[in-house]
Structure 1
Amino acid sequence: MTKQVLILGGSGRIGSKVAEDLIAHTSANITIAGRNLVTGNSICQQLGDRAQFKAIDLTAPSDLRAAVSQADLVVHCAGPFHYRDASVLQICIDEGVNYIDVSDHPSFTRKALAYRANAESADVTAVINTGIFPGISNSMVRRDVEQLDHAEKIHLSYVVAGSGGAGVTVMRTTFLGLQRPFEAWIDGDWKTVKPYSDREVIDFPKYGKVGVYWFDMPEAFTLPDTFPVKTVVTKFATVPQFYNYLTWSVARWWHPKLLQTKAVIEFLSYVSHFMTDVSDRFSGIGVAIRSEVTGEKNGQPTRCVSTLTHLDTAVSAGIGTGTVAEMLLSGELKKPGVWAIEQALSTELFDRAMQRRGIEIHQELI
């Protein structure tokens, strides 16, 4: 029988790109779930006969449960995840339905991981933090770690051009990440780090030298849980680079209570989105990822460096999530429990998925 996929937040920028990937690479029927009937129906018309729209309010558990019970796979794209609990995951476990999300906030990741034993008992595979970063980036790290005999340090850097082709939700995520200091795994210990601090210049393919800054990401704690390294660095930047200076000034000069006020976050998000609507015309909406793992190979100090670029950040996020969805639908991937992407997906499966979609990752040992 034809598989049924429910995409929550499917009418958003990321959710719609996940749907496009699934239409292209699977035979599944797709239900786009959201609150905007006009947008949802428009997206379904573009996707074709295998897509339909369904209005679902995530705060209405009975409606959500009814929709989940009809699905073979649920893909949760309804961010920002800073505001979400793990109720969708709980319903999927109750209904015995596999689950994926594009979560990118540490607080949500911790809530989801707490359900690991429940999912395992229910024989449900739940993969969290899929997308581009986190997502493909985490699998790049796994690939690099496996090239070394011993890994000591992971350094992940990201740069996004303008809006990245995503909606205002991504802007919200950026400013929500500035609200408070966070814990980073440095030299074998958890240390407090200020968001958007410690600027470091990284040479990215296509974008050249860009200053990147500490940013609170789920991989900051899932990677040291997965790999026995002493340090994990997660840094982020945007281009044009003047956006970084604006974000840095907000992180440094605005009172913390302002950044914890929803109205302020909304103001900053919409102003930023308006600005990127203009700058996207000359900056593009692409993404670059650089993974550097330091350690030893054959008794010698060695670094394994991988880089990836894509012209559209939202499309690449759709690919990252779509590949995992395809594997779950086909049965290639089955691992009951709740797992960060690098814990669920083998390098063999990852490489195969990237090749199928024409995604090139450059890797070298230095």
Structure 2
Amino acid sequence: MTTLIVGGYGSVGRTIAGELATASDGPSSVVVAGRDETKAATVAAELGENVSGIAFDLQRTDLYARVLEDIDHVVMCVDQAGTAFVEACLERGIDYLDVTASDEFFRRVERLDDVARDHGATAVLSVGLAPGVTNLLAKRMTDQLSTVSEIRIGVLLGLGEAFGPAASRWTLERIGREFTVFDAGRSRPVRGFVTPEPIEFPRYGRRRAYSFDFADQHVLHRTLDVPAKTYLCFDSRAVTAAVYGLSRFEVYRPTAEAIGLDRLTGLVSTLSVGGEGFAVSVEVDGQQDSNAKTLLRAIDGEEQSRVTGLVAANVSMAIHGTSVPSGVYHVHEILDSESILDVLRERGYRLTNSEQVRETSNPVTLMS
């Protein structure tokens, strides 16, 4: 089996390539691809003889046939505006996995479900930390409850980590931007980094996080038919408060436009006002028998981009090591969380579980 990693020399792609190249049950060969042939070749040389590097520009649709020849599986680490390349993969019966965090793109790929089924291919979306691990944790807890009323997801990012420019830009352009959430039986608009919510992060304590347009809230609502909301904060309380103030008083977006998003992304990448730690926390409110419960599962550690790479590599191997049906799926729809979480535990990431039982007026909290 040959796996093509598009964007394979970025921080996430490099982790995926390294994991697949060294795994005993990984593909027989790995191809690292990107617009810069020298970078692709350099990473390939570092990873061993079964890894090669090629130049590939996603905008060049005329190259698709040549690049996809003899490829069995594609892992995409580059954001795309359209689905031409996804369609090219699925029409050739090539399995496809995407680490993007854009729900707009997810919706477009979901419409290709019939294409994937007709050609015996599987596409897996929501593969990473958020979305990805958050989806798996949420699905695990909803399965433990008889009814679910709401899912809340908190993401805490360390500002000391060297994020790639694409990831930084994606985050910056969503601050202060309006999006829609499903709440109290109806859709309502909210703005990014404006609506506060106290979130418990076991390593960092209780933090005030703010509404943010992560894809997992939309995906979980579509697939589980449960209201879900996502919130973001940073390890620096001062930066979190400053971003909230700029967003709430509608100063951020005019300022970002005046500076220019590309320039602002460059400026942010030079700052180091926090650590490299991250945390995600997923809380699910619901009912089990006669008890009202809130279940919490959280994970924390360092280098959140590495987690995305580890998850993607292991999902890639899992869909080839098990019988996965053809079609387009989000990760929680076809894989159990425990196999992925076991990998993260082995790599030093900490998982925490807690449960609040509200059988009486005094909740009882159980930790593990």
How do 1:281-292 and structure 2 match up within 5 A?
Answer: 283-292=274-283
Identity, in percent, stands at 21
Question: Which residue number in structure 2 is paired with residue 46 of structure 1?
Answer: 46
Question: Which residue number in structure 2 is paired with residue 266 of structure 1?
Answer: 262
Question: Which residue number in structure 2 is paired with residue 181 of structure 1?
Answer: 178
CA offsets per residue over residues 192-240 of structure 1, 9 Å max, x none? 11111112232312223332111112212210122232x2111111222
Write the distance in 2 (CA, Å) between the matches of 1:198 and 1:211: 10
Write the distance in 2 (CA, Å) between the matches of 1:119 and 1:259: 40
Q: Cα–Cα, structure 1 residues 213 and 24, in superposed 2: closer, same or farther, change >3 Å? A: farther
The root-mean-square deviation of aligned C-alpha atoms, in Å, is 2.2
Can you give the 5+ residue segments of structure 2 that lack an aligned partner in the other structure? 357-368
SS at match of 1:316: helix
Q: Cα–Cα, structure 1 residues 356 and 63, in superposed 2: closer, same or farther, change >3 Å? A: farther
Question: Which residue number in structure 2 is paired with residue 243 of structure 1?
Answer: 239
1:193 maps to which of 185, 190, 193? 190
Select the structure with the greater relative contact order (CA < 8 A; seq sep ≥ 6): 1
Question: Which residue number in structure 2 is paired with residue 116 of structure 1?
Answer: 113
* Cα distance, 1:348 vs structure 2: 5.5
Q: Cα–Cα, structure 1 residues 4 and 357, in superposed 2: closer, same or farther, change >3 Å? A: farther
Question: Which residue number in structure 1 is paired with residue 69 of structure 2?
Answer: 69
Q: Cα–Cα, structure 1 residues 244 and 348, in superposed 2: closer, same or farther, change >3 Å? A: closer
- Say which one has the larger Rg: 2
Q: Confirm or deny: 8 A CA contact 1:13 1:165 kept in the other structure.
A: no
Is 1:320 matched with 2:319?
Answer: no
* Cα distance, 1:338 vs structure 2: 1.1
CA offsets per residue over residues 34-58 of structure 1, 9 Å max, x none? 1223322332232222211100010
Write the distance in 2 (CA, Å) between the matches of 1:333 and 1:359: 28
Q: Confirm or deny: 8 A CA contact 2:278 2:300 kept in the other structure.
A: yes
Write the distance in 1 (CA, Å) between the matches of 2:283 and 2:117: 33
**TM-score by structure 1 length?**
0.89
* Cα distance, 1:93 vs structure 2: 1.1
Paired AA for residue 291 in structure 1: V
Write the distance in 1 (CA, Å) between the matches of 2:348 and 2:19: 13
SS at match of 2:131: coil
CA offsets per residue over residues 131-173 of structure 1, 9 Å max, x none? 1111111101111111212111100101011154431111101
Can you give the 5+ residue segments of structure 1 that lack an aligned partner in the other structure? none
CA offsets per residue over residues 270-319 of structure 1, 9 Å max, x none? 111111xx33xxx3322211010010112110111101012111111111
Write the distance in 2 (CA, Å) between the matches of 1:21 and 1:151: 36
Paired AA for residue 26 in structure 2: S
1:365 maps to which of 352, 355, 358? 355
* Cα distance, 1:67 vs structure 2: 1.4
Q: Confirm or deny: 8 A CA contact 1:98 1:124 kept in the other structure.
A: yes
Write the distance in 2 (CA, Å) between the matches of 1:42 and 1:133: 29
Paired AA for residue 312 in structure 1: E
